[in-house]
Amino acid sequence: MTNAYDALRNRAAYIDLSGRGNIRATGADRVRLLHAMTTNHVEQLQPGTGCYGFFLTAQGRILADVNLYCMPDYILLDTEPETRQRVKEHLERYIIADDVTLEDFTDCAAVINVEGPEAERIVKELGAPAAHLPFTIAEWDHALIAHNSYTGGPGYSVMLPVEQKSHFISRLDAAGIPCAGSAEAEAVRLENDRPRYGVDFSDANIPHETQLLHAVHNNKGCYLGQEIVERVRSRGHVNRVLTRLEIDSETVPARGTKVQSGDTAVGEIMSAAYSPSLGRTLAFAIARAESLESPLTVDGLSARVRRAKT
């Protein structure tokens, strides 16, 4: 792996995430609408704070995940590139007599993340108002800076006008901050146990299958898909879950490779990457919950459940 991988793990590197969906919701009813349409508690957000949540279908399936940031006169929706149009169209179907306007400004914005243990120091040296608390957001000249990361480690996301992108990157280059490409970012993302919508889980899944239950507020009142979420919560279990695996090999299995318990396929690989620091391959798989205490193999190689970080 490259020096950028080492920097992303031990110092700081930047990741160009331009193309992530950026949608601005304005209007007097924006908070009420988004509270009723997402799984997290939008109404309790104060300006400068945010949360992570899901958009669900009426059947409880996950249409998209989203970072929601509350600003004084709008709410920013930050979502995966592939779901920006889906999110906008989904919300527009439910705007009837509401005073809500949605503006997709993705093509006008660049998104550059500075991530790694020294990310906070770096962005502060660049003059950014980098708050220490997660999911905080602040204006920075003509940009926004949010305390959130792609890889699941320490990091900040800078959203700025696209015409300022090259200048900002030149400042990072001058500060000796390397650019981490997709291979480095994916390795660190898997090391930090950070799944991605559209890669590791999708609209085939319900929230409890992802085990990302910080996205779901259990006492917020009604929202689209809540009936299914509450039914699953009261039942206490799901049949399949998004699972973190370690595989004793440098060979990275392809997406869709079967996870076996003996001769029985009990799941499949969703994403995987080799971790140079751990000397093994890490993966996310969707697997049957009851199989996870059994010996597992992937392509004949020993695999085991990687326990979530605490």
- Whether 3-190 shares its CATH topology with 239-310 is answered no
- DSSP label at 151? S
pLDDT in the model for residue 309: 59
Residue pLDDT tens, the chain, 310 long? 579 999 999 999 999 999 999 999 999 999 999 999 999 999 999 999 999 999 999 999 999 999 999 999 999 999 999 999 999 999 999 999 999 999 999 999 999 999 999 999 999 999 999 888 999 999 999 999 999 999 999 999 999 999 999 999 999 999 999 999 999 999 999 999 999 999 999 999 999 999 999 999 999 989 999 999 999 999 888 999 999 999 999 999 999 999 999 999 999 999 999 999 999 999 999 999 999 989 999 999 999 998 765 4
Cβ atoms of residues 165 and 110 within 8 Å: yes
Domain locations along the chain: 3-190, 239-310
Residues 6+ apart with CB under 8 A from 178: 2, 3, 4, 7, 13, 14
* Bridge partners, residue 304, by sequence: 246
CATH class assigned to 239-310 = mainly beta
Q: Cα–Cα–Cα angle for 206, 54, 269, nearest 5°?
A: 50
Residue found under tokens 């970012």: 185
Is the pTM higher than 0.85? The answer reads yes
- Is 1.10.15.40 the CATH number for 3-190? no
Residues 6+ apart with CB under 8 A from 43: 31, 32, 35, 220
Cβ atoms of residues 213 and 308 within 8 Å: no
